[in-house]
């Protein structure tokens, strides 16, 4: 047993258990092994790890409410010019890390030098790395690997778009954040800008590509490392110094053997996933994917806008056969052949009968009548066949239209597996049913009333520079004696949806900026609360309990079921908002002319309250900043709705607290987006957009224009929603 000195400046922290003073730094081990206050600010709680380049500590920041941080010490075992070069590179890397503002990349808070050692203070991620998860849960399934790719590839794309390489992607450097299960890419000690010059050789054997091993890493090198991470998590075989023979990689022929290895284990890989991983692991970089978007497109191929919405996935077997196996054109073709064949055969038979009769020397009445009746029957057969086929075509065409209309109009229902209640098999429709199943009670709806509220505007420092009193109208839906749903009137108008180039840091998903004209509608003043949810659904799925907190941990299908039941109760059609409705309502555009530019477009502030966001304005992850506002105290959970200032329409909690579902299918950008504000279908119907950010989101992800691609059946501690009622005022 040894005593470990927690002084990060100590060069030799391991001590014999009978030592009283550390032989590395000379300080009392009774102090430095229990906790060590480094630089009068960072209280060292424990060592997290140690590698070739340094040590990592868990610390508490005494200047910031004892917030947990990670302190990394880079040991510079150099002298002279080499030491100065190492310092320069470290500072450059720290500057690069400071530019990264992504919720799945740890934030950097400080970097400094002390006694020829270099230090970095980063965000602490509460969770576990994928190696630890593997040891606990075993080999990753194909489904889990797909989720891994879908979660990490956008992070990789973010890095590569900034012309940066991670250079050390492996299971040890990927963490699963505990509160939302998001994958976080960590350890950016080897981050490097893409260039043609040879760099320091940084890679992990078993994960590094050939060009990275020779000092010429590319974006395809990170993709290779991610592919290697996937196959090693699937096979359960990781490289180590003690194993010269790698059963899933033949170094002599530079060939991956992972599929053979899994096949021998009785595991067959889906063709799409197999092809993707093979291409990610190609030996030469030019044979691999050149960017992450290519992989995402193959993993989830987009539905062409020209292709009609496929509603046959959720039809019954008989309905599917009716539409798919007997399409109208195909049926017409086959039945035309049947008619023509019958007519030709009938004519041949009639000609044969006529020639037979003509060849007879004498005709009796019986023979003639018999021949006449045969011809008459054949003619009648052709007539009946034609008539029945025509009726059948009309019936099928009517049935097709009815089925499609009903499927698009019906609400989503949940089919729950009794063995696993969390397993949901939803239908893919968007809107709720227009026909209630029970007698609605319209007395639960009040008439329009006015309400007053105060609106504020802030500058880039988060300082309030303007206050205004506003008024709007709303109606109330009474759900119980003390629980109401307030629906605020959103006046019709037009705005430019998405972001302009001037907003900066924006995503291609938010472009092109395009004009949308919307009719008036009503939107819930707050996200749906747990009290409202329990009143309608008779249960509460939320993780952070509280009747006045927003309901979370709900999928899109759960939300649609709520809309259906609520609509049946009150007799009006309540649905999820479209993306256009949500963004228009969030921005609170009162007078669009004040935002107009010379080219006709409009430029808005990123948040409805102005240029930035602070902890006094919303519930979000305020450990990072958006502009020049101060860092706030992060509150990692939901809070009661209505705790902050509303926007120009009188809506609350549009930034932060919970992400909010929209009814659209997912589209990667706004190309060919509708201009009437309606729900946009014909996209990737496995996903829907969520808007507004959450308690866990960094400032950039709480903007009015932000779009979050989420699987429709996904439930998380930060997934909520609000409802709309479409009407014309």
User: Mind giving me the DSSP string for 460-477?
Assistant: TTS-EEEEEEEEEEEEEE
Dist. CA 274–CA 428, nearest whole Å: 28
- Shortest CA distance to 575 belongs to which of 410, 333, 344? 410
> Which helix H or strand E contains 535, and what residues bound it?
helix 530-537
Q: What's the distance, CA 311 to chain centroid?
A: 23
Dist. CA 451–CA 434, nearest whole Å: 30
Pairing of strands 719-720, 659-661: parallel
- Shortest CA distance to 229 belongs to which of 282, 169, 184, 187? 169
User: How distant, in Å, are the alpha carbons of 183, 482, 654, 701 from that of 180?
Assistant: 9, 32, 20, 15
Dist. CA 298–CA 282, nearest whole Å: 16
In sequence order, which ranges of 208-327 are alpha helices (DSSP H)? 210-213, 219-235, 258-264, 271-280, 292-299, 317-320
- Shortest CA distance to 194 belongs to which of 259, 326, 291, 265? 291
Helix 556-570 vs helix 530-537: crossing angle, to nearest 10:
70
Do the beta carbons of residue 505 and residue 513 sit within 8 Å? no
- Shortest CA distance to 693 belongs to which of 729, 653, 727? 653
Peptide bond preceding 76: is omega within 30 degrees of 0, i.e. cis? no
Residue 640 known to be catalytic: no
In degrees, to the nearest 5, what angle opens at C-alpha 709 toward C-alphas 707 and 714? Answer: 130
Active-site option among 168, 187, 222, 653:
168
Token code pair at residue 122? 């980063």
Burial degree of 420 (CB within 10 A; 0-12, 13-18, 19+): exposed
Catalytically annotated residues: 168
């Amino acid at each position: 047993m040894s005593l470990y000195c927690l002084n990060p400046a100590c060069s030799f922290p391991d001590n014999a258990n009978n030592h009283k003073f550390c032989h590395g730094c000379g300080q009392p081990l009774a102090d430095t092994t229990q906790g060590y206050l480094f630089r009068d600010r960072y209280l060292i709680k424990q060592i997290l790890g140690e590698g070739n380049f340094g040590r990592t500590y868990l610390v508490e920041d005494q200047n910031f409410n004892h917030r947990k941080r990670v302190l990394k010490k880079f040991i510079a075992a150099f002298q002279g010019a080499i030491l100065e070069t190492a310092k320069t590179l470290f500072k450059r890397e720290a500057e690069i890390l400071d530019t990264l503002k992504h919720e799945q990349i740890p934030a950097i808070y400080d970097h400094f030098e002390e006694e020829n050692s270099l230090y970095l203070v980063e965000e602490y991620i509460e969770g576990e790395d994928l190696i630890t998860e593997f040891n606990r849960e075993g080999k990753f399934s194909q489904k889990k690997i797909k989720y891994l790719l879908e979660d990490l590839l956008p992070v990789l794309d973010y890095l590569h778009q900034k012309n940066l390489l991670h250079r050390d992607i492996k299971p040890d450097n990927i963490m699963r954040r505990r509160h939302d299960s998001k994958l976080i890419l960590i350890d950016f000690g080897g981050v490097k800008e893409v260039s043609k010059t040879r760099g320091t050789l940084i890679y992990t054997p078993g994960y590094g590509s050939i060009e990275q091993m020779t000092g010429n890493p590319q974006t395809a090198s990170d993709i290779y490392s991610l592919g290697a991470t996937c196959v090693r998590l699937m096979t359960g075989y990781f490289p180590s110094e003690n194993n010269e023979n790698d059963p899933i990689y033949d170094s002599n022929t530079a060939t991956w053997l992972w599929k053979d290895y899994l096949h021998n284990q009785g595991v067959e890989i889906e063709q799409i996933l197999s092809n993707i991983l093979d291409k990610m692991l190609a030996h030469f970089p030019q044979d691999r994917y050149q960017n992450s978007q290519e992989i995402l497109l193959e993993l989830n191929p987009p539905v062409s806008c020209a292709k009609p919405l496929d509603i046959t996935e959720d039809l019954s077997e008989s309905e599917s056969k009716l539409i798919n196996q007997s399409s109208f054109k195909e049926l017409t073709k086959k039945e035309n052949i049947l008619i023509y064949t019958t007519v030709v055969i009938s004519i041949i038979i009639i000609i044969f009968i006529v020639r037979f009769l003509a060849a007879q020397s004498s005709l009796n009445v019986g023979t003639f009548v018999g021949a006449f009746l045969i011809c008459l029957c054949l003619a009648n057969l052709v007539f009946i066949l034609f008539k029945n086929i025509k009726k059948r075509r009309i019936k099928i065409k009517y049935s097709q239209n009815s089925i499609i209309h009903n499927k698009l109009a019906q609400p989503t229902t949940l089919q729950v597996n009794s063995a696993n209640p969390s397993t949901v098999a939803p239908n893919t429709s968007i809107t709720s049913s227009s026909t209630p199943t029970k007698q609605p009670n319209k007395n639960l709806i009040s008439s329009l009333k006015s309400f007053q509220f105060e609106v504020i505007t802030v500058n880039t420092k988060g300082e309030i520079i303007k206050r205004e009193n506003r008024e709007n109208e709303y109606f109330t839906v009474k759900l119980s004696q003390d629980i109401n749903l307030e629906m605020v009137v959103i006046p019709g108008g037009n705005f430019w949806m998405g972001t302009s180039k001037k907003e900066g840091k924006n995503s291609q998903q938010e472009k092109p900026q395009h004009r949308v004209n919307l009719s008036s509608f009503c939107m819930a003043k707050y996200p749906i609360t747990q009290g409202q949810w329990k009143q309608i659904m008779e249960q509460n799925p939320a993780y952070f309990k509280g009747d006045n907190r927003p309901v979370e941990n709900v999928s899109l299908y759960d939300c649609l079921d709520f809309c259906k039941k609520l609509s049946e109760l009150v007799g009006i059609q309540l649905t999820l908002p479209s993306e256009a409705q949500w963004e228009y309502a969030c921005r609170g555009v009162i007078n669009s002319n004040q935002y107009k530019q010379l080219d006709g477009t409009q430029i808005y502030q990123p948040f409805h309250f102005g240029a930035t966001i602070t902890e006094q304005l919303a519930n979000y992850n305020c450990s990072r900043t958006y502009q020049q506002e101060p860092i706030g105290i992060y509150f990692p959970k939901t809070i009661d709705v209505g705790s902050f200032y509303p926007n120009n329409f009188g809506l609350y909690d549009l930034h932060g607290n919970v992400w909010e579902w929209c009814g659209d299918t997912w589209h990667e950008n706004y190309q060919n987006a509708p201009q009437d504000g309606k729900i946009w279908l014909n996209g990737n119907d496995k996903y829907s957009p969520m808007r507004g950010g959450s308690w866990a989101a960094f400032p950039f992800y709480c903007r009015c224009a932000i779009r979050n691609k989420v699987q429709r059946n996904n439930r998380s501690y930060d997934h909520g929603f609000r409802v709309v009622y479409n009407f014309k005022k």
